[in-house]
A and B are shown apart, each in its own frame.
Chain A
């Protein structure tokens, strides 16, 4: 498995100085070529912030305060997205990484037609395409997502919610990107539509071979559709594992709680336990492990020091598995890499 996008130590703040909110802290995450990586966590845990930060699309007062986002192009040297100039960044966007946003209802410009919003993409990235090629490609894209080509002239308000989201997916495919980020692509839709769209997306992935970063707080969807899952809490990744492992034997108490709070769609039913309490206000994150006030198995070390993400010897020897929890550290004292903040 070769990585296509590698996030190293990424940190994001909202605001500067004393009042800054540390929305994402030292996140490490790898997206491999062709895989679906799921990212889950409660509302406010920083999932969207992380996704936007990777492409430097955070709205003010968002600010990237450290780290690297390495893109491994097909046969190119890896480049740090955070170091690109505005021009390089523009050409990187959508060519290599496309995004389907949370709240798709507002993702389309209400005053222009679907065709013209698709055309904008070709004009910016493929200036050599003729008018005929452009409209042919647009029709083809709509067909890919199951919309008839005569909707090209439609305005967003003339489309249903599900159609709008399909149009967004069609747009994301326009330049054959290597990576597609989907930030809660289906939360606004009903369950049937949700399923249809996700299944279609996965079919397209088989066909076209892009990688997906799939963000949602519906963990049952993740278990079903992703290859690996990362769990986020209070701006940090707390656990990362293959989908199967995560579902069967999650190592972090938070992941356990999260998995417990959703009824499983397939497989054996498990009791719904949920997580007591509510996610922390990001302005006043608890000391030590941010989860400790809600953690059923917290002990004194958890209050003092932040656990780092460490490789876990997986049940079946899978090396990609890691967790940030003191429960999984055999000897607590004198552990390297544990620094007080």
Chain B
């Protein structure tokens, strides 16, 4: 339990740091673009909205930095992330809450599939070191070096444009109304196939390579030799002794990988015009919609922290040594 508490505390500190960075960025970096943007939208912004932007970006130099910081936190707790320019006058929080489910489901499913599959292949490749599987490693390396979005582009050109088997853009059949009916869900699944495959293929190589190396390292641990000496069936040694231990660093290294996967998935959403957060971020970037970009950064960071906390719980369940301490 101590372990979990410590981790949770660390994530709280990290969340605080991310929010503070978010607060400081527009105040420390040259303020002109923000001001220019507000000027550009002047005609369409209500005085209320302008006032809230001033608070968001610290342009009202009347108040001290500290009271700005307090107001900023106050707004955050109310869920007020400002108004989006691109989807004006929709609040950022609403834009995000509409796109977040798409991203969470795409990323959740692909991350789990890619982790499980990649780890399984890695276990086998590490166990059978020197077999034909090793000849696949250069290919895996090549795939792990390809940017996700470029693979997405290729997938679109091959499967959507040339072959026409899958849609090139969007999250569901245009004209359908999102809801919990079979027609919508099947359409959403169909539209998700290409983006999901892209993310899985791009990210799986990393898990395979990492797990293979851990398996090779663990395979020469004494307890694996002892397991062989005990005459246990090979499967039991491979899974219960070697893989069971080799997977631990994979899970504790989840944090780093998750950052990469999130970045990659956002880009994949962009190229597929998938209605998730990545696509919204893309439109925000193009329109220099700062409130939207900042809101998205916050949400993504919080989601990643939560995912890390889950990974910690899993680690706790898998490693008895942390349970006691």
Q: Which of A52, A93, A106, A157 contacts B230 (CB 8 A)?
A: A93
Out of A92, A108, A155, name the residue touching B223 (CB < 8 Å): A108
Q: How far is the CB of A261 from chain B (nearest CB, A)?
A: 28
Q: Judge whether B321 and A124 touch: CB under 8 Å.
A: no
Are B230 and A124 in contact (CB-based, < 8 A)?
yes
Question: Taking the complex as formed, is A94 at the interface, i.e. its CB lies under 8 A from any CB of chain B?
Answer: yes
Q: How far is the CA of A120 from the CA of B239 in the complex (A)?
A: 13
Segment at the B interface, from A5-13, A109-117, A134-142, A312-320: A109-117
Q: From residue B214, how far is it (CB to closest CB) to chain A in Å?
A: 14
- Residue-wise, chain A 80-92 has the 8 Å CB interface mask toward B (1 for contact) of 0000001001111
Would you call B226 an interface residue if the criterion is a C-beta within 8 Å of the partner chain's C-beta atoms? yes
Chain A interface helix/strand/loop/mixed: mixed
Q: Select the stretch in B93-101, B240-248, B252-260, B269-277 that faces chain A.
A: B240-248
Instruction: Pick out which of these stretches binds chain B: A97-105, A250-258, A285-293.
Output: A97-105
A109/B220 contact (C-beta < 8 A), A91-B231, A93-B228, A171-B230 known: no
A67 to B321, CA, bound (A): 43
Give bound CA distance, A87 to B319, whole Å: 32
Size category of the binding interface on chain A = 20 to 34
Q: Does B78 contact A (CB under 8 A)?
A: no
* Contact present for B231 and A111 (CB under 8 Å): no
A173 CB, nearest partner CB in chain B, Å? 12
User: A128 CB to closest chain B CB, in angstroms?
Assistant: 16
Interfacial chain A residues near B59, Cβ < 8 Å: none
Would you call B32 an interface residue if the criterion is a C-beta within 8 Å of the partner chain's C-beta atoms?
A: no
- B227 within 8 A of partner (CB): yes
Structural contact, B223 and A109, CB atoms closer than 8 A: yes
Once the chains bind, are B320 and A111 in contact (CB under 8 Å)? yes
Please encode chain A, from 295 to 321, with 1 for each CB lying within 8 Å of some chain B CB and 0 for all others.
Answer: 000000000000000000000000000
Which of A93, A106, A110, A124 sits near B236, CB closer than 8 Å? A124
Asked whether B318 is an interface residue with its Cβ less than 8 Å from the other chain, the reply is yes
| Cα–Cα, bound, A223→B236 (Å) | 40
User: Does B229 lie within 8 Å of A55, measured CB to CB?
Assistant: yes
Query: Residues on B close to A: CB < 8 A?
Result: 129-130, 219-223, 225-234, 236, 240-241, 244-245, 248, 318-321, 324
Sample of 26 A–B contacts (CB below 8 Å): A52-B225, A55-B229, A59-B225, A90-B231, A92-B231, A93-B231, A101-B225, A106-B222, A107-B222, A107-B226, A108-B223, A109-B226, A109-B240, A109-B241, A109-B244, A109-B245, A110-B245, A111-B244, A111-B319, A120-B227, A120-B236, A120-B240, A121-B230, A121-B232, A155-B321, A157-B320
Binding site for B on A (CB under 8 A): 52, 55, 57, 59-60, 86, 89-95, 98-99, 101, 103, 106-112, 120-121, 124-125, 155, 157-158, 168, 171
Known contacts A98-B229, A110-B320, A157-B324; 20 additional CB pairs below 8 A are A59-B219, A86-B234, A91-B231, A93-B229, A93-B231, A106-B223, A107-B226, A108-B226, A109-B227, A111-B244, A111-B248, A112-B240, A112-B244, A120-B232, A120-B240, A124-B230, A124-B236, A155-B321, A158-B324, A171-B230
